[in-house]
Amino acid sequence: MAQQGQQQGQQQGQQKQGQGQMQGQGVQITDRDLLQVCLNETKHCATSLNTYIQEASSEQLRRDYMTVLGDVYSQQKQIFDYMQQQGFYNVKNANPQDIAQAKSKFSQNQQQQSMQ
């Protein structure tokens, strides 16, 4: 009887420990989630660098920002390629008809703007 009480106490203690571990784990982040955050951050960084380049008062500073922007684009491409390889980022290829239609529309818009 005393032995049963000890076993029950040990089981309850183990259950409490297990519950505590589960409560402490929080949200699981997958590789896909982490890579998506990295890709989004490189996009944000590139946008900010474009602004810095446009607003730089020093030509040397502008060139330095452009160098960094090139590095950010390279990192962004590496992340994107890896995500595609892992099946995390699937891009649907446009059909040739849609591409031709977009080119035509873009050309018409350019012609209209040049006439104004």
**Position 116 in a domain:** no
**Position 100 in a domain:** no
**Position 57 in a domain:** yes
At residue 92, the 3 state secondary structure works out as coil
Q: At what angle do helices 59-85 and 31-55 cross, to 10 degrees?
A: 160
pLDDT in tens, the chain (116 residues): 445 545 455 444 444 443 333 455 788 899 999 999 999 999 999 999 999 999 999 999 999 999 999 999 999 999 999 999 999 988 888 899 988 888 888 888 777 777 77
**Position 72 in a domain:** yes
Q: Which of 53, 42, 105, 102 is nearest to 78 (CA)?
A: 42
Q: What domain range includes position 34?
A: 28-91
**Position 7 in a domain:** no
Burial 6-23 (b: 16+ CB within 10 A, else e): eeeeeeeeeeeeeeeeee
Whole-prediction pTM: 0.61
